[in-house]
Chains A and B, each alone.
Chain A
Amino acid sequence: MAAPRVIVVGAGPAGTRAAEVLVAAGLRPLVIDEAADNGGQIYRRQPAGFRRRAEALYGTEAGRARAVHGVFSALRGRIEHWPQSLAWQLRDGALQVERGGRAHRLEFDRIILATGATDRLLPIPGWTRPGAFSLGAAQIALKAQACAIGRRVVFLGSGPLLYLVAAQYVKAGATVAAVLDTAPASARRAALPLMASRPSLLVKGAALLWRLKRAGVPVHHGVTPLRIEGESRVTGVVFRDSTGRERRLEGDAVGMGWHLRAESQLADLAGCAFDFDPVSRQWLPRIDVDGRSSVDGVYLAGDGVRLAGADGAELGGRLAALAVLQDLGLPAPAGVDAAALRRGLARMERFRQGLAIAFPWPGELIAALPDETLVCRCEAITAGQLRRGATTLEAPEMNRAKAFTRVGMGRCQGRFCGIAGAEILSAARGEPMQAAGRIRSAAPVKPLPVAIELETP
């Protein structure tokens, strides 16, 4: 029997650990990643020629970063690795990949999608101005380019990444004007029992707050962002503090984000079933405990399906690979214990639920956005246009709204407006957010180079 063909999409912590288990079982998977190098988001590598040490780049996670990079390096020669390769369609048992301007149609027996996440965004007036970036962007500027996004940066949003990136900026010598968290301080206290499932992370969180405090960075909880000011570029942020007072902060850059949004387009194109996850308030592909999707042969791991963080991604990657081996009738490699991995993930699931309580998604702010706010950055569609679409045009769900207003039809494919669009639609119609459905993914999942040559398999 020919060796089974297994593809892993994504070379972050989930994809790396999946490939490691597959190789240990004697397989030679193909690992595809759009990025120039392995590492994924959290353990993103700096370009060749940059000299900062892992401690400077990854802080307390330097050890884990080294471990994941080390595993990947040891796999070289035992896997096929396609960096700078975009997986853009998954249908009928074949993955379509663009690599160096050429199109490849790859058939497989099993595929593990470990595609990670992007920032979850709340549109606010002025968020398209030069100087307003996603939180992830603020971190990437620092990690991958050794730059700050501005001279005086306001961090706005909610979630652990908000504090992490602000603290990383302080450590790197940048000026942080303030951290504006939409979550009220009381939410964190309510979440403590669940978050106690990972005490070490609570300690790390406290250390981040301490670093911000020591640097004199004001931290405001329970804020309502009102607008980002500036015509040709950002000049400040106006918000209402927890006492209801309107305040203005001077700054030339904003790093904004509300936790993460799973990158699940390929699973959608493959026909995987999705469920609305009330914890993260988003639609996520349905999986069993080990990562099997509803479609035979398609497995999911990491932040693209569970949003359990980097450590959870490593566990999920291993589990998905074990599921692949089991379904192929192959023995699991020695030393990889599925039961222990599942227990670990269950602990992280409790923590994830705690995070969602501590840093809730402020959907109600979207419902209150002024009509003229740009919701879709790609096609400049406003909240008002969407609201009119929701009521007068009889657009009961996202895909109808998309047809009427083009929201989600721009080149980001709804990555940055889809969730906000659903909040606006459902609020305008007085229905729960899940009633608005989700934007169906379309191939290619990202724009392809203009001239692409088709390779016959």
Chain B
Amino acid sequence: MAMGGAGPLLQRLDELARPAVTLAVDGQVVTALEGDTVLTAVLLHGAVLRQSEFGDGPRAGFCLMGACQDCWVWTEQGTRLRACSTPVTPGLRIVTLEVPWPRLG
């Protein structure tokens, strides 16, 4: 089996019977399930959560427990979210590709 490619990073194994929630990730509509975190929602559709500020490439979180802070994404309004500990909410619009201006905090 060839690894990599464009597919999602995470794989759902169970708990499929939850209501759907839609959010926008970099302008694209993404469907998640109630109870998913923002990190889960993004990584079930792709393999990148954010870009390192230091030019060393993409990141996709690491600890999932709010300790490494390697999963920050931004809402279109410029609010910072820790993707691994923020549940999805209907209508949430986030950006992963660039940090919006003004960059608060």
Could you list which residues of chain A lie within 8 angstroms of chain B, going by C-beta atoms? 34, 41, 46-52, 56, 118-119, 128-134, 136-137, 140-142, 144-152, 172-174, 230-236, 250-253, 263, 374, 377-380, 410-412, 415-416, 446-447, 449-450
A129–B60 Cα gap in the complex (Å)?
A: 7
Query: A140 to B64, Cβ gap below 8 A?
Result: yes
Query: B64 to A50, Cβ gap below 8 A?
Result: no
A60–B1 Cα gap in the complex (Å)?
A: 33
A152–B9 Cα gap in the complex (Å)?
A: 10
The verdict on A137 contacting B65 (CB below 8 Å), with A130-B59, A145-B40, A379-B54 known, is yes
| Other A-B pairs, 18, CB within 8 Å; known A446-B67, A450-B104 | A46-B15, A50-B35, A52-B15, A129-B58, A134-B62, A134-B63, A134-B68, A137-B61, A146-B15, A151-B1, A152-B3, A173-B13, A174-B11, A174-B13, A233-B60, A378-B69, A416-B67, A447-B105
Using CB atoms, name the residue of chain A closest to B60.
A130
Residue B30 interfacial (CB < 8 Å): no
Using CB atoms, name the residue of chain B closest to A256.
B62
Interface size of B in residues (CB-CB distance below 8 Å):
47
- The smallest C-beta distance from B104 to any residue of chain A, in angstroms, reads 5
- The smallest C-beta distance from A251 to any residue of chain B, in angstroms, reads 6
- The smallest C-beta distance from B51 to any residue of chain A, in angstroms, reads 11
A379–B70 Cα gap in the complex (Å)?
A: 11
Contacts of A48 in B (CB 8 A): 35
Interface of A is mostly: loop
Contacts of B63 in A (CB 8 A): 118-119, 133-134, 136-137, 416
A450–B80 Cα gap in the complex (Å)?
A: 8
- The smallest C-beta distance from B4 to any residue of chain A, in angstroms, reads 4
The verdict on A380 contacting B3 (CB below 8 Å), with A51-B17, A450-B104 known, is no
A118–B4 Cα gap in the complex (Å)?
A: 28
The answer, among B18, B58, B67, for a CB contact under 8 Å with A412, is B67
Could you list which residues of chain B lie within 8 angstroms of chain A, going by C-beta atoms? 1, 3-4, 7, 9-15, 17-19, 34-37, 40, 43-44, 47-49, 52, 54-70, 79-80, 87, 104-105
Contacts of B104 in A (CB 8 A): 450
A228–B23 Cα gap in the complex (Å)?
A: 32
A252–B70 Cα gap in the complex (Å)?
A: 19
A303–B80 Cα gap in the complex (Å)?
A: 30
Query: A377 to B68, Cβ gap below 8 A?
Result: yes
* A141, A142, A148, A174: residue with the most chain B Cβ atoms closer than 10 Å: A141
A80–B92 Cα gap in the complex (Å)?
A: 32
Query: A118 to B3, Cβ gap below 8 A?
Result: no
Contacts of B40 in A (CB 8 A): 141, 145, 147
Query: A233 to B4, Cβ gap below 8 A?
Result: yes
Can you identify 18 A-B contacts, CB atoms within 8 angstroms? A118-B65, A128-B70, A130-B48, A131-B47, A134-B62, A147-B12, A147-B13, A147-B40, A147-B44, A150-B10, A151-B1, A152-B3, A173-B13, A233-B9, A234-B3, A252-B9, A378-B68, A380-B55
- The smallest C-beta distance from A250 to any residue of chain B, in angstroms, reads 6
The verdict on A149 contacting B10 (CB below 8 Å), with A133-B62, A137-B63 known, is yes
A250–B4 Cα gap in the complex (Å)?
A: 10
Contacts of A374 in B (CB 8 A): 56
Query: A232 to B48, Cβ gap below 8 A?
Result: yes
Query: B36 to A148, Cβ gap below 8 A?
Result: no
A252–B5 Cα gap in the complex (Å)?
A: 10
* A49, A56, A140, A145: residue with the most chain B Cβ atoms closer than 10 Å: A145
